[in-house]
Structure 1
Amino acid sequence: MLCGNKFDDLGSLEFGYNRVVNKTISYTPFELVYGYNPLSPLDLVPLLVSSITNPIGLSKA
């Protein structure tokens, strides 16, 4: 994970740590500070409707 400079992946590690829900308080560290959770790169990608519907399931419905 750490290649070359040990600080290269620090931003990714910080982002991941700040998005993990704490079991005790049921909030993420980011949410406690800013009041909302940050968007992840997957939250920014639109999901196509055709990719979430199964044509066989639609014909049986």
Structure 2
Amino acid sequence: MRLVDRDESKRVLSKEELLRHERVEMLMQIMLGSKHINEDIEAYYNNYETEKPEGGKNE
């Protein structure tokens, strides 16, 4: 299988370019995963703060 640039110039990527593309893809996946984790944590704490015990304080 031959990989080509996204501009469809049919230019075959060198090994260095392929590694760079793979690193960028991995970083994007990590960043996306981190965003979802942060959203989950924020939702957990927002939910925790709204469900206070009868005394009105979280312990």
TM > 0.5 fold call? no
TM-score range, shorter chain: under 0.3
Task: Please tell me whether Structure 1 or Structure 2 has the larger radius of gyration of its CA atoms.
Answer: 2
Q: Give TM-score scaled by structure 2 length.
A: 0.27
Q: Give TM-score scaled by structure 1 length.
A: 0.27
